[in-house]
Structure 1
Amino acid sequence: MLTILYRGPLASCDYDCPYCPFAKRRDTPEQLRADRADLDRFCAWVADQDRELSILFTPWGEGLVRSWYRRALVTLSRLPRVRRVAIQTNLSCRTGWLADADRDAVALWCTYHPGQTPHDRFLAKTAELTALGVRFSVGVVGLPEHLEAARRLRAELPDSVYLWVNAAEGHEYTDTDAADWVGIDPLFGFSRRPHRTRGRACRTGDSVVSVDGAGTVRRCHFVPEELGNLYDGSFEQALRPRPCPLDVCDCHIGYVHAEQLPMYDVFAGGVLERIPAEPVWLPLPVRRQYEND
């Protein structure tokens, strides 16, 4: 099976989080049309494949406020060769359209942004997903000002919903700080510090690739080297096991594929949507073994 992380040119978002590392842009109508055309082309390629695929959309902006991303998730979820199709989203969109998707294949990776949306509104959206039978995880960025909001969200979400915490970019956590976040997300240790990855095995470039709107294939979002193009098939000959060329990896969508970490076991069946397998939590000694590895 090939896993694809797709990121088209879409960069506009209906939120304006000050801590967001992604691009800030108001897409022009021409740019939106180009993004839509790129996504339609990608979906047509997927429909023509006879191999099993898993797909995660990781847009710079918010995709689900755009009709073409909603349509793509529904369409792709119903293709027999697509085992999973998921997207990172702030969950500001309506949810009823998911009733048309195959709930065994579709999933959402949802981020709660305190200050951008009311708590009750976000919580109501998650309840709608539960009622629809849609798989999803929920998370927050681990900034000090988000701690109480995250605790409240954890208390009010069903126990079955995993609430992850991403370490804030450039933020240092004392052991006391980290303990607060571990109390919400026992897997926070994986995010707390970057993982040393240079020369170590990674699934990216072999069974996992990154694809942009033009079809350019790279091993992941964080390594600029091109492996070829999706649409002319030139990337196929470049797929092989290879060590990571970067000193560290500090983003979940990257290090989740690192073979030095047990993430494919921790998230078995839910790697793309960041939903842990049962039992959800690793024993504390095992978590410590892999922290900052």
Structure 2
Amino acid sequence: MHAWARSVPAEQAAGLERQPGVKIVRGPGFSSTLLAFNNGRKPFDDPKVRQAIAAAIDSQKLVDTVLRGQGKTGSPGFWHPDAPGADTSLKHSFDASHSAKLLDEVGAATGADGIRVLNGKPMNFTLLVQSSSPERIRSAELIRDMLKAVGIGVSVTSMDSDSLDAKVWPEYDVAKGRDYDMSMWGWSAPVQLDATMLAAVVDSDTVLGRLNVTGTKDGDLDRLSDEVRAAPTLEDRYKVLGELQKQVAEKAPFVTLYYPDGVYAYRQDIFDGWVYQDGTGILNKASFMEAAAG
């Protein structure tokens, strides 16, 4: 192992902890893993369908199974509960019966094979996932089984990252559209460290909403996105950010599944002065500053 800090998969952490001279540090990680919907494609243009899918997902099971407990369940408002400006009152609610009720309300009747039919079409969808991520593949498989329980059929399709990006975020330009039903997706930690970035994720303007890979178009989200960018003070910005989180939770343009913890391994016999910072891990300037006297 090299002398510098390295992020390690959760499943390898236990083995590394048994290695002489190796120390493991864990803490909140602000990277997110999402179930993204193509909001411009039926039936994902209907908030009730998206809400029904969200309610059918047991995100705590994903954390316990896929992350081995080393992470937090996603907030329906997207913002990590430890990130600045988070509305910690927002909690994901796994409720399969509520999911079924919402599907009944939109007229999705159960077919002979157990798959619901909506507007004459079976609710069979493709879920794209990166072949390079065992964590996301396993999450997609569990989500497939959870949605089957409420009458939604899911086919998990694994593809290389470049091919998946070309479907979800072609040329990294949301103005070029998208071609998918659902996809495993995620944003890196820095997105959670800037209050205006949630606006970039949901704003329908393809310039201002440069991260809007779901094609979300909603007047309330656009208005609040404008307000969070225009807020004159940080306090005002966090207040509007809280309102935006509530609207994201209500509209469910995507499902925030979980936030993996940061898990870092290092050789403590070489350097043991690392300082963990939420969302950024142990490689930061605080680790290289002399401790204050007193």
TM-score (norm 2): 0.25
TM-score (norm 1): 0.25
Structure number having the greater helix percentage: 2
